[in-house]
Amino acid sequence: MKNIVLIGFMGTGKTTAGKILAKELGMKLVDVDEEIESETGMTICDIFKEHGEPSFRDKETEMAKKISSGGGGLVISTGGGIVLREENIACLRQNGLIVCLMATPETILQRTKDSTDRPLLKVENPYEKIKELLNQRDVRYRNSDITIETDGKSPMMIAHEIIEHWKAVR
Ligand code: S3P
């Protein structure tokens, strides 16, 4: 069985929808950021602060390779920046269906405004930052097998939409 790989910007619901998806399909959920945190014993924020973003991106690539080299049957929730390196998506795609969750900057701001664990959004104007990063990454996000617009949808609705696609291609 293939993996289901959830990609998309911060706040598009990858982790929440991923949990429901994994439960309903009886698959194991693996979260790339959580795996990095448990392997390094550091939070993502501390890795950014103490070692810088490039070091985090190296760890992210290592973890993407490690997770996708397993036997399949996983729901893999990735960090929003996984698309920044083509090699990450290439290895995740080898054994996985790439599902991209999209949302408007307004929705993303609403969903992320109270979070303290996203170093890239700890800036004076998070809305501008969200728009800037989304612009930079848009083409990469859209290079997925399935794209799901998540505005106005609950995590349950998003998970069920993914399940419909999954059943059709499996
Ligand atoms: C990032 C997204 C975060 C995390 C890190 C960088 C990004 O994950 O990997 O803060 O570059 O978009 P989430 O998308 O789960 O918030």
* CATH code for the domain in which residue 148 is found: 3.40.50.300
Residues with CB under 6 A from ligand 1: 10, 14, 33, 44, 79-81, 118-120
Average pLDDT over residues 86-106: 97
Q: Ligand 1 pocket: which of 5, 111, 120 to mutate (most atoms <8 Å of CB)?
A: 120
- pLDDT level of residue 77 (50, 70, 90 thresholds): very high
How many residues can be counted in the chain? 170
How wide is the angle at C-alpha 61 spanned by C-alphas 22 and 117, nearest 5°? 65
pLDDT value for 125: 97
- pLDDT of 170 above 80: no
Sign of the CA dihedral with 156 first, then 19, 61, and 96 last = negative
- pLDDT of 90 above 90: yes
- pLDDT of 169 above 90: no
Residue of minimum CA distance from atom 8 in ligand 1: 79
Whether 169 maps to a domain, the answer reads no
Whether 114 maps to a domain, the answer reads yes
pLDDT value for 153: 97
Distance 44 CA to ligand 1 centre (A): 9
Q: How far apart are CA 26 and CA 21, in angstroms?
A: 8
pLDDT value for 108: 98
pLDDT value for 104: 98
pLDDT value for 71: 84
- Residue (of 31, 43, 112) closest to 74 by Cα position: 31
Residue of minimum CA distance from atom 12 in ligand 1: 80
Whether 168 maps to a domain, the answer reads no
Distance 118 CA to ligand 1 centre (A): 6
The half-sphere exposure of 73 on its side-chain side, counting CA atoms within 13 A, is 6
Q: Ligand 1 pocket: which of 33, 76, 135 to mutate (most atoms <8 Å of CB)?
A: 33
Whether 116 maps to a domain, the answer reads yes
**pLDDT tens digit string along 7-33?**
999 999 999 999 999 999 999 999 999
pLDDT value for 24: 97
Average pLDDT over residues 26-46: 98
Residue of minimum CA distance from atom 4 in ligand 1: 79
- pLDDT of 116 above 80: yes
Whether 101 maps to a domain, the answer reads yes
Whether 14 maps to a domain, the answer reads yes
Whether 170 maps to a domain, the answer reads no
Our count of domains for the chain comes to 1
14 is in which domain, residue-wise?
Answer: 3-163
**pTM, rounded to two decimals:** 0.97
Whether 122 maps to a domain, the answer reads yes
- pLDDT of 139 above 90: yes
Average pLDDT over residues 102-116: 96
Instruction: Ligand 1, residue 45: give the atom nearest the CA.
Output: 10
